[in-house]
Amino acid sequence: MYDFLRKISNTPYSIFGIFLFQIVLLMGTQFTAWPEMLVYPYLLDNGFRLYGEIVHPYLPLVPYMLWVVLDRANFSPYALWVFANFYQLVISSLFLILARRILPNVSLVIPFLLYVVLHIVWEGNGFWFDTAAILFILGAFYFFLRYRENATLKNVLFIGLLIGISIIIKQTAFWYAIVTILLIMWHGLHSKSKRANTVSQIVVFRL
């Protein structure tokens, strides 16, 4: 019975159904258009400078990203809503890919549905610096899973690049870099034959 339910729940129709449910949730809940997400890009478009004429407590990537995205839409809250919903669907897609890798024998509907519901409950419906960083942090975790399967320098470089981008979005993502370095050390140093390779990869990651 369990195997039958697992096969049914992992079909494209069930996954599509949860994506549709997420879209309904995003459209049916109140969207919070944080002023910083609209004002900072608008000021940049009008010649103001971050950290000079604009008091900005975070790192600069998100305002510049939204400047590029919202410029042609006149920095309207509706354009931010459309972009935020698209961004959330991309994050959900990556979450689904990670769930398939981590839990290959478990119904994907269960963790995916929990993520969709709990994200709205805990984070609300909006776009903030933390939301922007999630995509790159999950991407770094994806390449860490690939690193565990194939400990190559390319995977380490992708991990470092994606975590570096998340740090440029929000400083607190720095802690993910510390955790990742420790995980790479733990994974690689358990074998003497991998020790030199792991040390060189960590040096490249830090650079």
Q: Give the Å distances, CA to CA, from 45 to 50, 63, 80, 104, 161.
A: 11, 10, 16, 46, 27
Position 200 scores a pLDDT of 42
Which SS3 state, helix, strand or coil, does residue 126 take?
strand
Position 182 scores a pLDDT of 75
Which SS3 state, helix, strand or coil, does residue 8 take?
helix
Position 206 scores a pLDDT of 43
Position 187 scores a pLDDT of 62
Dist CA 61 CA 164 (whole Å): 11
Position 5 scores a pLDDT of 47
Position 207 scores a pLDDT of 41
CB atoms within 10 A of CB 108: 21
Contacts of 80 (CB under 8 A, 6+ apart): 33, 37, 38, 66, 70, 127
Position 107 scores a pLDDT of 72
Digit-coded pLDDT (tens) for 173-185? 777 777 777 776 6
Its pTM stands at 0.81
Q: What is the mean pLDDT of each run of 10 residues along the chain (207 residues)?
A: 51 80 89 92 92 85 94 92 94 88 76 84 86 91 86 85 90 76 66 45 42
